[in-house]
Amino acid sequence: MLAKNVVGCVFVIILLNLLSNKNAVGQQSSLSQLSYPNIDDYVVRPRPTTTSTEATPTTTKKSLFSSFTGLFKKSDKSSTEQPTTTSTTSTTTTAKPTQSIPITQKPILGSTTVNPKVDVLTIPPNYPRPTAPTSTVKPANKEAFPPLPSKPQSPDSSVSLASLFTTKKPKDDFPPLPTKPGQQSGSTPTPGSPWTNLPPPSVTFVPKVPPQATSTPSTPSDKKEIASDAELKELSEQLFTKDTNSPNKFVTANYQGRTSTQARTDEAPNALLQLNENELSKFDIIEKMRLLYNNYEQDTLVHEYVTPIEKKEENELIDALLATSVMRQVMIFLQRKGIVTPDPKTHKDLLKQIWFTLYSRGQGKIGSSGFEHVFLHEIKNGTVIGLHNWLYFHDVEKSGHIDYKGYTKKLDLGNKGSIVKVRLSFDNIDKPSNSLFIGTSPELEMALYTLCFEVRQDKECPLSYSGKDFYIKTYAFRYHGKNMIGSAYPDF
């Protein structure tokens, strides 16, 4: 009876052991079937401050056979071997932290389901953790990214700072330049130098220019002019016709005796000009021109200082000239020749530059201009220059500074006036020959001078009126890269 009870107990123990092992294996197999979502899908929740521990046995579990045979073996307390313990008797535990990972309420694959109320899954410490997939980076091409040059080592402390900046380059870096043919070289080019394979001395690096056929220099008459003689004569006829403000009928010329440039006698005891001042005062441009008479120093070696009032007087005279029919006709002609544009500002700028720009006639003194020279007079090195306007001639003669000595020749222009060459003295300074218009309007003179200066500069400019030919001679004065009128007068 006792034997039956022992055998029964043994079978109960074996059965319990089998059941416990089966539960353990089933639990592990169930856990292995769990599938976890990607680590990026987890909802991060605050981590609990306390950690749970789980007792894990340090002893190794024995197989089923060893457990069965151990029941019939008597324990020997005097034996030196340590008794073995099973997982059901006693275990030595060590505390290991387990990590709690919050998960979302997604369905988990496998036979095991998750309770919706539970939002924390406890993972055993030995269970493999899911890891995020790592992207493989393609190694860079070594040829596309060559290694960076190594950082130069710092110089030794024993080397002076000055020696670092005075180190000379090797001679091979700067090969000697080639020498000219026939010239001895001071050094021989090193092997591999770019100057070793030089061309023979007979070869030149300058391209040869084929010889051109020689031709005789062209005369001024052969050169193509901006405007032909016929164009200029036709235009001058139109300008005289358009000069409706001619004051010629209010001007009386008393030429008196004829003289020569070498004469020393006075052939004209009376004044050359007599004017009807009451009528001339009605001409706006004449009055504007007279305002400029006291704006200039007659000596070219005295600096000119233009005040704002004088500048205003110049601008008003230019505006009045551009408003006349004769000056507009000249600007239209110059526009067709490409000298000015349709913009009226270019017309005014042209007149201001060539007539009123100050320049120096010597010793660096800014004391002359085209308008002062032509329409007034100047004293240069003790001689009288300029004085080519009849209105100014009359005013100075009336004041007693000019003594008219007679004329050398004259050209009658009918109802528009005349051209005359005279001999005079200005404050006892003789001027053997002086040419000027008589009785013409200031705008007509300014228009003719401007026209000839632009199309026949430094040359004779052929003009005519009523079939009578004459010309105007202009001289350019170049100063600071600009051309201004140096002189202009009529002749025949």
Which residues of the chain carry a pLDDT beneath 70?
1-7, 9, 17-224
Which pLDDT score is estimated for 109?
42
- 373 counts as catalytic: yes
Q: Which residue do the tokens 């000009």 mark?
A: 273
Please state, in angstroms and rounded to a whole number, the distance separating the CA atoms of residues 261 and 422: 9
- 348 counts as catalytic: no
Smallest Cα–Cα separation from 352: which of 305, 313, 393? 313
Please state, in angstroms and rounded to a whole number, the distance separating the CA atoms of residues 66 and 68: 5
Q: Exactly one of 388, 394, 405, 421 is catalytic; which is it?
A: 388
Which pLDDT score is estimated for 358?
96
Q: Exactly one of 288, 347, 373, 416 is catalytic; which is it?
A: 373
The residue ranges of DSSP E strands in 100-147, in sequence order, are 100-102, 120-122
- 421 counts as catalytic: no
CA angle at 232 for the pair 409 and 421, rounded to the nearest 5°: 15
Which pLDDT score is estimated for 11?
73
The residue ranges of DSSP E strands in 100-231, in sequence order, are 100-102, 120-122
Structure tokens at 17: 């052991």
Question: What are 145-191's pLDDT values in tens digits?
Answer: 455 444 444 444 444 434 433 444 444 444 444 444 444 444 444 44
Which pLDDT score is estimated for 316?
97
Which pLDDT score is estimated for 16?
73
Please state, in angstroms and rounded to a whole number, the distance separating the CA atoms of residues 34 and 36: 7
Smallest Cα–Cα separation from 43: which of 106, 117, 137, 135? 106
Q: Exactly one of 288, 377, 421, 431 is catalytic; which is it?
A: 431
Please state, in angstroms and rounded to a whole number, the distance separating the CA atoms of residues 424 and 388: 12
- The pLDDT mean for the chain works out to 73
